[in-house]
Structure 1
Amino acid sequence: MARVIRESGLLNRTPVFYVLMITGLTLALAGAIAGFILLGDSWYQLLIAAALGIILTQFAFIAHEASHRAVFASGRANDRVGRTLANLVGISYAWWMTKHTRHHANPNRIGKDPDIEFDTISFIESDAARQRGFMAALTRRQGWLFFPLLTLEGLNLHVRSFGALLERRPVKGRWIEIGSIALRFGVVLTAVFWMLPLGMAFAFLGVQLAVFGIYMGASFAPNHKGMPIVPADAKLDFLSKQVLTSRNISGGWWASALYGGLNHQVEHHLFPSMPRPHLAKAREIVREHCRTLGLPYTEATMAESYGIVIRYLNRVGLAARDPFDCPMVERFRRT
């Protein structure tokens, strides 16, 4: 399969596509800024805030692809574009590279994949079982609370990535990123609080962060959540490891545009440097290869994938259940 993919030219970069994407998003960002200035003291500013959340997520998608060397042939050019766009979004490129590289190496593997580590949400039963008090109550309902909690994910991404830059460990481009991200937030906060009344300014930031967090979380979560969890000591070949833990989202060009190519998660994990425009064609080759090998290839609609995620998180959350939740046990405990 890898030979067929290489000979098909699907691994060839498509820089023109990404230049056009970046140009279009830059114009959209300029339009949003112009709208922000022209609207002034108006609650319609919340529409601008929502638009910014969407635009910044789209920039984050391209930064993600640049981190995989999928945008340009030159690694240096990819890093420059990736770091610039990630810092524009307010996320550390170095932090993302470290975290995401670990995820790709061992998707859904306990102790190796940072994306299934506990972070408010428990993705494995052992983490859920450790929760107590308020966190246990939240964990038991975490599937239903997943999307409401994503409203805080934008803030969480900003805090965690900036915090990583302050850790006492080697970080490539540490001071460049600290300066860029600090400047970004300085400009944004100054503009928002200078132009808008205090309450409206907080509402603007809240909407922008909420939309950004929901869009980012809703784009990445369906790819692996609810797929098999790999034990720490399991032995899997590369193909099985990537295919069995990944889920595609069905749909045409609209799905690729909405998810930044993440709808083709199986192909992305098998060929992470493949440009977004080629993933749909690679899907046909990969599906046929998996069919030949008898290897399960998972694809679901957008609605189905979110339903799977919610049910999975609720099932995991049962591990946090208080044993005395059982009415009969509770009755004997009181007597």
Structure 2
Amino acid sequence: MEAIETTENNRVFSKAELYEQSFPWTIIAGQVFAIGSFIPQHPGGFLIRRAIGEDATELFLSHHCPTGPAAKTLERYQIGTLANWDHEVTNVEELWRRRPLQRHFWRRLKESKISLTSNSFEAEFLACSMLMLFFLWCYYCYVRGWWRLNLCCSWFWLRHLDAGLHAAMHGDFRKSKRLQGGLFWVYSLLSHRAMEYYWGSSGLNGCGLSKHWWHHVFPNDPGRDPDWSTMTGIAWVRRHWSAEWHPCHRWQSLYWLPVAMFVEPLLELLQVTCSILEAVASLMEPPMKTPYCARVARFLGLSCEVLLNPGFQLLSFFAQPFWQAFGVLLLVRAISRLLLYPFSEVQHYMPEHILAADQEVFKDMPEWLVGQLTTTANLEFRHPLTWLVDFLMFHGATFGWRALHGMDLMDRNAGDSHQIEHHLWPAMSFVQYRNAAEVVRATCRTLQLPYYSISYVDGYRKICQQVREHQEPSPRPVLSAKRTRTPQEASDMEGSEDSELKRRTRRKKDNDNSSSS
């Protein structure tokens, strides 16, 4: 389909034509914007590059307050509309009007005076301090051979380095662009293999949606969430109906933990060894499409990660006897898998959250925000020490000894690993999570929206339950179809922008009155 010329700023583009354009463009609510000249001025830095060549509607709404200046600023860069746009809404204001719940959460966040960024250099100071501590730890564990310290702390540093890259990729540490760039560079070297997942292909230079950003768009969706690629194919441990069943799975209740602790980490070590050899071999190949500098960069990045990352510890093999270094490495991988299992599993791979999204109580709320709330969960840490460890892995809340000593140990939600808040506001700094969690939890309680929070022990219990439930071949569960809005319901929503919000608040009050009577 060819583009149709109408008036200035009202040109109709086909998707095919847009992909042939040489300028950076994005689509928001069916409108096409040429954002090349705005990229250097964007307050969020490189985050805007994620919108290039994509339908960035959901990204825009989750990163910008509805009452902020972003929508007005963006209007200056509109060049037309998208042909065959399959939604009725064609402007940001109307889109916000049809999302009263998401708009209400933004308003509550603003009323609580919680911003997406920290008010000081707290996040940057913490990241720099932790990196210096990590390099000191590397010296004593790899060079001096302090294997007990290695076994005790490797799991923590594995999680911290991955979370540091994750935070930097989401635009954290942005009080100083120079410091942000330095932290991103260091974390990308120490967790280099995760760069493709978080950052995307090196050739795209951070443009478009990476696998991790698609995870934010379709969280916990077995068919579309890239995080589920290890859950839906052929695996030693079958924990979802979408994974192919084999006779060995009848015994997986007995072998799943040893496989997770020893077999899978050993397979990863062998795969990384092959990757290093391939990177070395690529340096000796004749000229090809891939620039030689890119091949060198890949080799150096992999080398840095393998040398220093606690999951590989190649540096220790140069300073210690081989069998000692290898034995410690195997134990480190096993302990790390054992301790860190619930962190990702509870927050991403809990099918009961997907099924909950299909229950009758949520069918009449097709908003993006409800989808996020029903498909992820927070991991609870009720003791101040575990809360502090979680915070130092960049998952926790506002730091300070006053906050630590003032924490109510009887509060079952104290110290959540704040996955829900991160999915609602992906660009929020980790130092703001706990403050935002109080707002989200209270708002969900008022509006009777789901807010899943699971303890560490309950997380393991759920994993064991999944393993048992999928030992035998099971058919795909039959889920009732999602109910879409009727034309009359859509008209009601247009006539009263807060109709659904008011309805849920009224239902909450009626329930409270019934309980009191």
Residue of structure 2 equivalent to 1:308: 462
Residues 13, 70 of structure 1: 8 Å contact kept: no
Residue of structure 2 equivalent to 1:104: 216
Instruction: Return 5+ residue gaps in structure 1 as ranges.
Output: 322-335
Letter in structure 1 aligned against 2:395: G
Residue of structure 2 equivalent to 1:330: none
Letter in structure 2 aligned against 1:273: A
TM-fit CA distance, 1:279: 1.1
Residue of structure 2 equivalent to 1:31: 136
Letter in structure 2 aligned against 1:250: E
RMSD (CA atoms): 4.0
Residues 114, 435 of structure 2: 8 Å contact kept: no
Residue of structure 1 equivalent to 2:238: 122
With over 3 angstroms needed to count, the CA separation of the structure-2 counterparts of 1:317 and 1:3, relative to structure 1, is farther
Q: Does 1:293 align with 2:447?
A: yes
Normalising by the residue count of structure 2, what TM-score does the alignment of the two structures yield? 0.51
Residues 46, 207 of structure 1: 8 Å contact kept: no
Distance, in Å, in 1 between the alignment partners of 2:214 and 2:327 is 36
Residues 261, 276 of structure 1: 8 Å contact kept: yes
TM-fit CA distance, 1:256: 5.8
Q: Deviations over 1:100-120 (max 9, x none)?
A: 212111111121112223353
TM-fit CA distance, 1:83: 4.4
Residues 53, 208 of structure 1: 8 Å contact kept: yes
Residue of structure 1 equivalent to 2:403: none
Higher alpha-carbon Rg: 2
Correspondences of 1:164-313 after superposition (within 5 Å):
176-185=297-306, 191-226=315-350, 227-229=352-354, 236-251=366-381, 254-255=386-387, 257-258=389-390, 260-261=394-395, 263-313=417-467
Q: Deviations over 1:187-229 (max 9, x none)?
A: 7766322322221121122233334444544321121332423
Q: Does 1:88 align with 2:190?
A: yes
With over 3 angstroms needed to count, the CA separation of the structure-2 counterparts of 1:37 and 1:71, relative to structure 1, is closer
Number of corresponding residues: 310
With over 3 angstroms needed to count, the CA separation of the structure-2 counterparts of 1:38 and 1:126, relative to structure 1, is closer
Query: Which structure is higher in helix share?
Result: 1
Residue of structure 1 equivalent to 2:169: 67
Letter in structure 1 aligned against 2:132: L
With over 3 angstroms needed to count, the CA separation of the structure-2 counterparts of 1:57 and 1:79, relative to structure 1, is same
Q: Does 1:145 align with 2:256?
A: yes
Q: Which has the higher contact order (CA 8 A, sep 6+)?
A: 1
Q: Deviations over 1:149-171 (max 9, x none)?
A: 045666667758x96x98xx99x
Match for 2:154 among 52, 62, 71?
Answer: 52
Normalising by the residue count of structure 1, what TM-score does the alignment of the two structures yield? 0.75
Instruction: Return 5+ residue gaps in structure 2 as ranges.
Output: 1-104, 200-209, 280-288, 397-416, 476-517
Residue of structure 1 equivalent to 2:5: none
With over 3 angstroms needed to count, the CA separation of the structure-2 counterparts of 1:34 and 1:84, relative to structure 1, is closer
Distance, in Å, in 2 between the alignment partners of 1:302 and 1:54 is 16
With over 3 angstroms needed to count, the CA separation of the structure-2 counterparts of 1:92 and 1:266, relative to structure 1, is closer
Residues 189, 304 of structure 2: 8 Å contact kept: no
With over 3 angstroms needed to count, the CA separation of the structure-2 counterparts of 1:111 and 1:318, relative to structure 1, is same
